[in-house]
Amino acid sequence: MDSTFDEFFMQRCLQLAKLGAGHVAPNPMVGAVLVYRGRIIGEGYHRQYGFAHAEVNCVNSVKEEDKPLIAVSTIYVSLEPCAHHGKTPPCANLIVAQGIKEVVIGCVDTFSKVSGKGIEILKNAGIQVRTGILEKECRELNSRFFTFHEQKRPYIILKWAQSPAGFIAPPDGKPVRISNAFTDRLVHRWRSEEMSILVGTSTALTDNPRLNNRLWTGKDPIRLVIDRTLKIPRNYHLWKGNTLFFTEAKDDQKETVQVDFQQPVLPQIMQHLHERSIQSVLVEGGANTLQQFIDAGLWDEARIITGRTQFPEGLPAPVLQNALLTNETDLEGDRIMYYRKTS
């Protein structure tokens, strides 16, 4: 089939896959479409972790009158079909069982339990396999998944709000609203899309944050707090519900993670999150914690909100290094700038 058609149908796979954002981790987001002579007869995506994968939902969506066409159709899938038994059976085996003769794959899965094994199953069954269609876009979609498995750490997103003069708090350090109500909702959407959210001690003490996504829908992220001596008061929100405290202290009432503060702390936290299969973390502050991530080179994205609240002096915002501006938007007067780490 013409490469233009390949890209068209792979774009549809990507559109579908994105619908699983915030629901499928630690699995990747995947979309699939079944095409017969240029017509989509079935489509699906991975909707929720532990449930049917994209290929299964795609095949199951085919109308009864089109079922005889499955075996003579081409299936497009944004990520290599899985080859191992997890919470669901291997999708590569499903494709073979359906008699599908051609599979077009966006990118190869580098997860060790798949990593070419799905393609091998398909080829051994005599199925024609083509790969690398919109490969960059397909990998980008699952940057969290690939970073976790290839770099053995979570995907890290830094976020902060600052005044037009570049300060994140006034001189007295007291909390002040910088972003507007629309941007607040967007931030809560971001929270719903990540597995965890992290703050340092100063932010926890100053803001008494909830760190949930009450202004959006979906599951709340796991809350992570760096608190060396557990000085955060017990009546604060972070002591209620699911929170991991990274500390030197021990507590009988709450799960704590022991960290050696005489050694670099962030690598220890990243190793622990990897062991817990936490694939992404949204770092929301404060300035010192954010700058530590930047200085250590431990970040992948940064999202900086510049509001209209004016204070010409105060606590300076963090300073990004090796950053590429990838997008800039305006939301009712708030300027939101998106960066990626370049090296």
284 in a labelled binding site: yes
191 in a labelled binding site: yes
Instruction: Name the residue with tokens 């359906």.
Output: 98
The question of whether 102 is a catalytic residue gets the answer no
- Rounded to 5 degrees, φ, ψ at 10 are -70, -35
Torsion sign (Cα): 285, 193, 337, 210: negative
188 in a labelled binding site: no
> Do the strands 31-36 and 74-79 form a parallel or antiparallel pair, or are they unpaired?
antiparallel
Which are the contacts of 50, defined by CB distance < 8 A and separation ≥ 6?
87, 88
Q: Which of 250, 178, 247 is nearest to 207 (CA)?
A: 178
**DSSP β-bridge partners for residue 243:** 223
83 in a labelled binding site: no
**188: how many CB neighbours lie within 10 A of its CB?**
17
161 in a labelled binding site: yes
Among residues 43, 55, 193, 301, the one annotated as catalytic is 55
Determine the Cα angle at 338 with ends 334 and 343, to 5°. 155
Contact between residue 110 and residue 81 where contact means Cβ atoms under 8 Å apart: no
306 in a labelled binding site: no
203 in a labelled binding site: yes
53 in a labelled binding site: yes
Return the CA Rg of the chain: 23
272 in a labelled binding site: no
234 in a labelled binding site: no
Q: Which residues are annotated as a binding site?
A: 53, 82, 91, 161, 191, 203, 207, 211, 214, 284
Which residues carry out catalysis? 55
Q: Which residues are annotated as a binding site for NADP(+)?
A: 161, 207
Report the binding-site residues for substrate. 191, 203, 211, 214, 284
Residue numbers in the known binding site for Zn(2+) are 53, 82, 91
